[in-house]
Structure 1
Amino acid sequence: MTDTAPEKFACYVRARAHPGRGDDLIKGYDPVFAQVADEDGTELYSLIRSVDDPDLFFCFELFRSRADFDAHRARSLAGHDLDELNAATAERDFVWGIPVRTKTTLVGPPREDRQAVEDLITDYARALDTQDWDLLRSTFAPDARTTMETVGTYESCDALVADIAPRLTDFATLQHFVTNVAVRVQGDTASASSHFVSHHIPKDGASYTHGGTFTFDAVRTAQGWRIAAHTCRLLWTLGDPTQKGQGA
C-alpha cells in the first residue's frame, strides 16, 4: 500500500481596516508572522496592501495540509495575541479551499539556516553552563551588544566574558534549559526568541532558579551565523539569589 501525501490547504482573507488604521492593521500582524516563522507546516503567508485603498488588505495562506492549518488556527486564537489586529480590523472575509493549480518560484529560508541559528542559541547556553569562554566567543560577532537585565549591558563579547566569568566561578553547577525557540531568517540576518529556565547551584549558599526570555539578532558571516545582539530578560525567580554570580 502506497502512502499518499496529504492535500495542501489554502486560505484567502480579505480584510478592511477601520478608516485610517491600515498601518495599525499591519502592525497587528506582527505576532502572526512571529508565529508562522516557527511553523514548518505553513508554506506561504503573505499580507498584501491594495495600491488603490490603503485600508484594504489581502492575505494568502498556504499550508502543507488541513491538519497544519487547523494547528495554526488553534494556536493563533489562543491567548490575546490578536487583540491589536482585531481592534484595527473593521471587516474580514475568509475563503478556504484546496489548491488545484499552482505556479510559484517562491522559496523560503533554508531549513539549514534556521537550524544553524537554533544551534547557535544551544551553544550559547552550553557555554555558560560549562564556562567554556572560547565556545561562547565563537557564537558572537566581535562587536555584539549584550543586555542582561539583572547584570548589565556589554558592547562586545570580550566585555561580557570579562565581567561574568569571575561571577560564575562561584557556582558548583549551572544548567540552562532553552525552549520555545522561534527563528525568522531574512537573507543574511535572522531574529530569534526563546524561553529559558536556569538552575544555579552555588558552591556556598542555597540554590535558586531564574526563568525568562532570550532574544537574539544574528548575522551570517564568513565563519557562519553569529549573534549580533542579545537580550536576557528575567521574568521570575524561585529561591533567594546570592549577591555573587547573578548572571542568567
Structure 2
Amino acid sequence: MDRVEIAGLLARLAHLLDEARYEDAATVFADDAVIRSPRGGEVRGIADLISFLQRAHVEDERTQHITTDVVVDVEGDQASMSANQLVFFYRAGQPPHRRSGLRLAYTAVRTSMGWRISEGEVVPAWIDGPPVTVVA
C-alpha cells in the first residue's frame, strides 16, 4: 500500500503543475523539502518552492506532465523513487512549442499527513524548443 501512495505523489505533483495549483504543493512536499534542478537551483522549504513555481510560470503557457517507469523502494518511514517524465509546453488549442524529457529522483518520508517528498532532483535528459528563464 505504501508503494501505491508514494507513486501517487508523482501523479498528484503532475496534476498540481499542469493545473498551476502551486499553493497546493504541501499536499505533495514536506514542509522542509529540498529540491534541486538546473532551472531552479536548490530550493529549500515549501514557501520557497511555491515562490519558485509561481515565478517560473509563463503566462498563457500550459503544461502536460506524463510520468512513467516509476520505481519505489520503501524502507520503514522513508522511500526512494525514480521516474521518467515527459513535459509538453503548449498554449490553449495549439500544439506543443517546447518539450522536455526529465529524470526524477526523490526521497519521500512518512508524515502525519501521509507520504511527502522530502528531497529530490530533477535532471533534464533532453529539451526541445526555446529556452525559458526564471525571474529571480
| Superposition TM-score, scaled by structure 2 size | 0.88
Q: Per-residue deviation at 1:125?
A: 1.4
Q: Which runs of 5+ in 1 are unaligned?
A: 1-111
User: Relative to structure 2, which stretch is displaced further, 163-172 or 129-138?
Assistant: 163-172
Residue 113 of structure 2, aligned match among 223, 227, 231: 223
Distance 1:146 1:242, change over 3 A: closer
The residue correspondences of 1:7-86 to structure 2 (distance < 5 A) are none
- The aligned counterpart of 1:207 is 97
CA distance in 2, matches of 1:183, 1:126: 19
Aligned-partner residue type, residue 22 of structure 2:
W
* Alpha-carbon distance in 1 for matches of 2:4, 2:20: 23
- Aligned equivalent of 2:33: 144
1:239 aligns with 2:129: yes
Q: Which runs of 5+ in 2 are unaligned?
A: none
The structure whose Rg is larger is 1
Instruction: Answer whether contact 1:128 1:136 (CA < 8 A) is retained.
Output: no
Contact 1:174 1:200 in 2 (8 A): yes
Root mean square deviation of aligned Cα: 1.9
**Structure with the higher strand share, 1 or 2:** 2
What is the CA-CA distance between 1:171 and the residue it aligns to? 4.0
Q: Work out the percentage of aligned pairs sharing the same amino acid.
A: 27
User: Does the 8 A contact of 1:150 with 1:234 survive in 2?
Assistant: no
**Pairwise CA distance, 1:167:** 2.4
Give me the TM-score of the superposition, normalised by structure 1.
Answer: 0.50
Q: Distance in 1 between matches of 2:125 and 2:107?
A: 20
Q: Select which of 71, 77, 100 maps to 1:188.
A: 77
1:177 corresponds to which of 66, 77, 101:
66
Q: Which has the higher contact order (CA 8 A, sep 6+)?
A: 2
